Chain A
């Protein structure tokens, strides 16, 4: 099979050829970025737009962090991508950072601290997981959280931010159904 349409038109092919022969950067850039409008070029542009839309809408969603609940791991106003395939073939584990859908247009960036069936509690800021204090090297500031023990429901994950210095009442955390899981941050 021949790929005859590397150039949009014969005119475009001549234009590129001349640009490369003369070596003038302006002409090369113009021929590359602003080619003559032709069917092949428009089809390519349409394919690129559709692919990019699908990719950034469903696979790799761009997000801006608002809030300080994941300090110091993620700063407020930080930019990131939510990588959806992360949990297509596996489930989140304790310690994973996940992105959950929180109603239309909003996502929550949290750490999974307990899995379905685990018991979870906070005592003087320490996480008590299945009756034992859990090591959380990612927590930096002081915390005074106290929460009675509870068992995480089936198909739910218990999530919390890394910034436990904020009062417990002001921090959005708790158990959430796995249906809201969207992916993991790309970095």
Chain B
């Protein structure tokens, strides 16, 4: 077998491409604080979403899993919904999530435009993002709500948890 120069060049190109892909993948997936925070938001969005009819038990388990992503004393401030303000513990949060998700037949939560500002020494982070809640209510009505969120997170031994959410209109008159 004759090894020609072009074979060597092809091999070099393939190796460089594979190395670049590997480095890219490593940069994208390595467990930095920013990636861990982004993963928490993906998890929250995926747990909140609902595509098919859900039984009470799986829904309760999902609500409990969602609540575990929050700190034990999470606060919420939603523009125009004063009754949602105040601190919530895991049980209260889990109940609220269960009731809120039960209002929908279909639900999709998209969290985008994430801008994390990490305060590593104090184990805190502030994340600005946009959220789109879309779906079909039990009465068949479709909704699509877009909001801007300001989220504060805390770093615990188990990872990052949501501590507070401020929800407001993305465009304000």
**A contacts, CB < 8 Å to B:** 100-106, 108, 147, 159, 168, 172-177, 179-180
Rounded to whole Å, the gap between the CB of B163 and the closest CB of chain A is 22
Contacting residue for B171 out of A147, A159, A168, A179, CB 8 A: A159
Of the candidates A104, A168, A172, A174, the one whose C-beta lies within 8 Å of that of B112 is A104
Beyond known contacts A101-B113, A102-B171, A180-B130: 8 more, CB 8 A cutoff:
A102-B146, A104-B112, A104-B132, A159-B171, A176-B170, A176-B172, A177-B128, A179-B113
Q: Is the CB of A173 within 8 A of B173?
A: yes
Contact: A179 with B115, CB < 8 Å? yes
In the A-B complex, list the 4 residue pairs whose CB atoms are closest, starting with the nearest: A103-B132, A103-B146, A174-B173, A104-B110
**CA of A168 to CA of B173 in the docked complex: distance in angstroms?**
10
Q: Could you mark each residue 108-141 of chain B with 1 if its beta carbon is under 8 Å from any beta carbon of chain A, else 0?
A: 0010110100000000000010111000000000
Most B CB within 10 A of own CB, among A101, A104, A108: A104
The bracket for how many chain B residues form the interface is 10 to 19
Residues of B within 8 A of A147 (CB): 173
Q: Are A106 and B169 in contact (CB under 8 A)?
A: no
Tell me how far the C-beta of A100 lies from the nearest C-beta in chain B, rounded to whole angstroms: 8
A174 to B148, CA, bound (A): 14
Which partner residue on chain A sits nearest B112 by CB separation? A104
A168: nearest residue on chain B (CB-CB)? Answer: B173
- The residue of chain A having its C-beta at the shortest distance from the C-beta of B108 within the complex is A104
Known: A103-B132, A103-B146, A104-B132. A180 touches B115 (CB 8 A): no
CA distance A185 to B42 in the complex (A): 31
| Cβ-defined contact, A173 with B110, below 8 A | no
Contact assessment for B128 and A179 in the assembled complex, using a CB-CB cutoff below 8 Å: yes
Contact indicator B113/A180 (Cβ below 8 Å): yes
- Contact among B128, B146, B172 for A106, CB-based, below 8 A: B146
- Could you say which residues of chain B place their CB within 8 Å of the CB of A103? 110, 112, 130-132, 144, 146, 170
Given contacts A102-B146, A179-B113, A179-B115, is CB(A174)–CB(B169) below 8 Å?
Answer: yes
Across the interface, name the chain B residue whose C-beta is closest to A169: B173
